[in-house]
Structure 1
């Protein structure tokens, strides 16, 4: 069986097959006679609508001799097979073998097929799901550390709040969803990674309204990242893209195109992330993380959450930071409006989120932050959150029964 990737390549890459097919005569129906040693089920066609079968695959053979429509823009003959379900799955599986990823997908739950799979080739979402073609869905993520789900309940509460704002009624009660998520992690055998989960309006049709979606859908997947953690200082830039309006910014929906473009903009400028300003010009957030500063008065300062996503990780960091006030490393903790001038004049700047934990920003728009090195407060906060993930209270650590 040819790999799935062959569907996106011109037949010139199958030069031997193409040459043999070009030498074959046609039968009375206009079908190309297959050579006896053809093992891939690949055929050359002229334009038209005559159907033919090769092994278990159905193909369309062209019966009109219009040269322009038989070739790609580069003038090379092209064909697309029609596959059975098993053939499509087989090609998906082989296609995964052609590229390497730093992430492994260990298990997935889908309410559409009502169970958990550990085969990445079966980790699929229907094309007619309203989340796929209309972006009508919400999601959240919980970290897996040493066999425990970190802040599962905090993330789950935000998840369900986002679903209410998106007018998606979950297919199950909260406790059932919680049990499904824990079972999905258990099936994965993953002890360090992340659990990401979605609620969508569900499959049904391709209309704008979800009225044709018969049932909302829950999906969850366990991801294991093979990359070692990187806590080195990073550079950021101010995003030229407008931030989402507050109604959508405070909701963790799947509409992340602005976030993706913001991240791409930063990478194009040699930076790690872009920083959004709100519509009043105050510092808001990064594309998928919150921002925090240490002022010259040794105060930990974060932007208000009324117009941005309320980060579970940054809220936990703020709670843990109380110990730094007690020991004198910080003079206080404040959630307030932050001007860009205040941010750039800070002694320390950091990004905080489940993906980065706490990471120092050493340069913003080519302007050095502090002494241009990772600050002591950022390092202390990261150690606090890592310790909390490994040995924190039961309120933030849920054991997974493997």
Structure 2
């Protein structure tokens, strides 16, 4: 199949799938999601993404109708039904189906599982990003990978209108994260990245970046940093599931980074090799 949609055990091409109007996602965005990539029909970092998915659901008291192992098997089965081995692998759970009511439905209403698969490659890390900065107006539970993404949608539109690729959020002077990614900086050989409190999503790619820094004895400081530190950094690094370690060349129209290219290349190479190794076929 060219692509694949899945809803509670039924699947077809994405544009042929239909879901009930009373799925609570339609009224409230009442659910959580996670996503990663596959190569050779092998899903990258699946265990870590599943763990985060279950954690997000638990924080919203959503009962996923499968165990972790059961959901992993469903995802693996679905990935093999798509022709291309390189895919964007997305899944979400919503808090069931019922007439519109803000309060949770009764316990006997099962949650709904969605899966969306489409051909897509990870991004070329040699390319540089242009960024803009925006005040972070999201709610105070950014550590939950919720479906309520309207602030990120608005930020994405502003980013596109500015001819850039990503927006960096900040609360006052504190940098939090990007609209779709985590952001970190390198200064004087030290990686600085925001702490995983309630103001940022604990990114899987961010965690892999930290692990690789420690592998190379690159000091890591998980502390908040400011807008001034961002623009004065030797390198500005954007991480997500599809762009493991991409650097910025511009923020709000001003040139940034480019002062530690060898260090960045070392990290990019080891992160890409990890992806290639985990998703190879024997």
Evaluate the alpha carbon distance shift between residue 314 and residue 230 of structure 1 in structure 2; reply closer, same or farther with a 3 A threshold.
Answer: closer
- State whether structure 2 residue 214 is matched by structure 1 residue 322: yes
- State whether structure 2 residue 79 is matched by structure 1 residue 192: no
Aligned to 1:387: 273
Evaluate the alpha carbon distance shift between residue 315 and residue 302 of structure 1 in structure 2; reply closer, same or farther with a 3 A threshold.
Answer: same
Q: Is the 8 A contact 1:349 1:369 kept in 2?
A: yes
After TM superposition, the score normalised by the length of structure 2 is 0.90
The structure with the largest alpha-carbon Rg is: 1
Runs of 4+ displaced beyond 6 Å: none
Which of 327, 335, 339 pairs up with 2:226? 339
Which of 5, 14, 18 pairs up with 1:124? 18
- State whether structure 2 residue 163 is matched by structure 1 residue 270: yes
Q: Is the 8 A contact 1:105 1:221 kept in 2?
A: no
Kindly report which structure 2 residues correspond to 1:15-54, keeping only aligned pairs within 5 A, or say none. none
Q: Is the 8 A contact 1:138 1:200 kept in 2?
A: yes
Over the aligned positions, Cα root-mean-square deviation in angstroms equals 2.4
Instruction: Tell me how far 1:226 sits from its aligned partner.
Output: 7.0
Distance (whole Å) between structure 1 residues aligned to residue 272 and residue 26 of structure 2: 35
Distance (whole Å) between structure 2 residues aligned to residue 141 and residue 317 of structure 1: 18
Evaluate the alpha carbon distance shift between residue 130 and residue 164 of structure 1 in structure 2; reply closer, same or farther with a 3 A threshold.
Answer: same
Kindly report which structure 2 residues correspond to 1:162-177, keeping only aligned pairs within 5 A, or say none. 162-177=56-71
Distance (whole Å) between structure 1 residues aligned to residue 123 and residue 247 of structure 2: 17
Distance (whole Å) between structure 2 residues aligned to residue 348 and residue 177 of structure 1: 38
Instruction: Tell me how far 1:374 sits from its aligned partner.
Output: 8.4
Distance (whole Å) between structure 2 residues aligned to residue 225 and residue 274 of structure 1: 22
Q: Is the 8 A contact 1:362 1:374 kept in 2?
A: no
Higher relative contact order (CA 8 A, sep 6+): 2
- State whether structure 2 residue 192 is matched by structure 1 residue 301: yes
Aligned to 2:250: 363
After TM superposition, the score normalised by the length of structure 1 is 0.64
Q: Is the 8 A contact 2:40 2:280 kept in 1?
A: no
Range moving further from structure 2, 380-389 or 132-141: 380-389
Distance (whole Å) between structure 2 residues aligned to residue 341 and residue 270 of structure 1: 22
Instruction: Tell me how far 1:197 sits from its aligned partner.
Output: 0.2
Aligned to 1:261: 154
Aligned to 1:223: 118
Aligned to 2:130: 235
- State whether structure 2 residue 173 is matched by structure 1 residue 281: yes
Structure 1 spans left out of the alignment, 5+ residues: 1-103
Distance (whole Å) between structure 1 residues aligned to residue 67 and residue 281 of structure 2: 21
Instruction: Tell me how far 1:318 sits from its aligned partner.
Output: 1.2
Distance (whole Å) between structure 2 residues aligned to residue 164 and residue 370 of structure 1: 39
Distance (whole Å) between structure 1 residues aligned to residue 227 and residue 263 of structure 2: 20
Evaluate the alpha carbon distance shift between residue 210 and residue 159 of structure 1 in structure 2; reply closer, same or farther with a 3 A threshold.
Answer: same
Q: Is the 8 A contact 2:38 2:86 kept in 1?
A: yes
DSSP-derived class of the 2:87 partner: strand
